[in-house]
Chains A and B, each alone.
Chain A
Amino acid sequence: MLKYVNQILIYIYTPEYLVTFKVLRLNKAILTRNKIQLYNEKINSYNMFIYYLICLR
């Protein structure tokens, strides 16, 4: 059984900067294989780390 990285918060980035909130558990290997990169950035006053998911394909 494939192990997943810890639960992460994901915003899907779009050109309009419209963000869709999703809670997912994803595997880093699958993301890498699909040429998807994860970026993290501090974005709000709660000092919370949020991940942006950008599809490079």
Chain B
Amino acid sequence: MKILVVPLLLLVGTCSNQRHSEKVNDLKNSISYSDKSPVETYLNTITTEDLKTHLHEIASDKYAGRRAGADGHNEMCDYIRKYYNSLQIEAPKAYPDYFQSIPKSYLPEELRASQNVVAYIEGSEFPEEFLVISAHSDHIGVIDGKIHNGADDNASGTSAIMEIAQAFQLAAKNGHRPKRSIVFLHLTAEEYGLYGSLFYTENPAFPLENTVANLNTDMIGRVDKRHEGNEDYVYLIGSDRISTELDFIVRKANEEFTHLELDYKYNALNDSNRYYSRSDHYNFALKNIPVIFFFNGEHEDYHKPTDTVDKINYRILQKRAQLIFATAWYVANSDNPPTKEVL
């Protein structure tokens, strides 16, 4: 009997492995850009000059380190709101002035009331499905009389999604409106415990059940020690944890357009830094929404007054923003949203 059972088990095991690898390959092969040319056209409107202009503004001393709820942060949110308004990128109906207000009672005691900034481009075919592209807009303010400008954390991510938004808006105006709606979300009070994203996921401007993915950027303008001499990289965190397909999409986008090294070091489940739970995508992931966290790694200026604009690598910031744009393009225009399945 044993003689029969062992080969039978081996056969079943082999077949199931084969089926699994076939499924993975089928999924991988199913991802392709039907027409690369518009992606390339609008991806190239994300320029180092524009990124630099936004980043210098956001990380300037006049916003005093953008502490959530402080005057400087409020004024900077106003800058973002005016930018979307000038591009005619709409505000959600629920928040016609782009501001999703968060009451003081929701936030830690030391903070004043604050707001997320929300803008969106309506989809042409699936307007009721939403891709959220997010970055936190706050930083840690003034400590011991020193302004913490947070050029990398997170003026870099904020300026990137502003540029991505203009690229999508330009495409829409030229007849390439995304099939799904794209939400540009600037979150507050991230530095104090991810409060802006927690509030958003508890009070979404657009239904979470129709939110197909969240692409989150936090610190994408610098190069860490591990990559000195090899600066064309980005860390991806969480991309394969809820949807294998989303991970394949970002890999495909990179293969076709940006050719960065995609570093999964911090995606390891046992990574002691636990970056997966340390930025705003985490609150979306807790709601079972597929996420990707784009990150450049820590550096010696992290949360220090020395995190300044002169240390930003604008070329690499541009490439990372372009990768996010190309990924978002695919997610927003594919026939089906990324499947919530881990293979």
Q: Which residues of A contact B (CB under 8 A)?
A: 1-4, 7, 23-25, 27, 29-30, 32-33
Contacts and interface: CB of A to CB of B under 8 A. Distances in A.
A1 B153 contact: yes
B192 A29 contact: yes
Given A1-B153, A3-B302, A33-B193, 12 more contacts: A1-B190, A1-B275, A1-B279, A1-B295, A1-B298, A1-B302, A2-B190, A4-B278, A25-B273, A27-B278, A29-B192, A30-B194
Contacts of B193: 2, 27, 29-30, 32-33
A2 B279 CA distance: 6
A3 B218 CA distance: 12
30 contacts: A1-B153, A1-B154, A1-B190, A1-B218, A1-B278, A1-B279, A1-B295, A1-B298, A2-B190, A2-B191, A2-B193, A2-B194, A2-B278, A2-B279, A3-B191, A4-B278, A7-B272, A23-B272, A24-B274, A25-B272, A25-B273, A25-B274, A27-B193, A29-B108, A30-B193, A32-B108, A32-B193, A33-B193, A33-B195, A33-B198
Contacts of B154: 1
A4 B302 CA distance: 12
B105 to A, nearest CB: 13
Query: 6 closest Cβ contacts across the A-B interface?
Result: A29-B193, A2-B278, A1-B218, A30-B193, A3-B303, A1-B219
Interface string B97-133: 0000000000010000000000000000000000000
Nearest to A7: B272
Contacts of A2: 190-191, 193-194, 278-279
Interface string B194-219: 11001000000000000000000011
A50 B164 CA distance: 47
B197 to A, nearest CB: 11
A25 B198 CA distance: 20
Contacts of B195: 33
Interface string B278-320: 1100000000000000010010001100000000000000000
Nearest to B302: A1
Nearest to A26: B274
A29 B108 CA distance: 8
Interface in B228-270: none
Interface in B174-200: 190-195, 198
A22 to B, nearest CB: 11
Interface string B148-173: 00000110000000000000000000
A29 B110 CA distance: 11
A38 to B, nearest CB: 15
B247 to A, nearest CB: 21
Contacts of B194: 2, 30
A30 to B, nearest CB: 5
B158 to A, nearest CB: 13
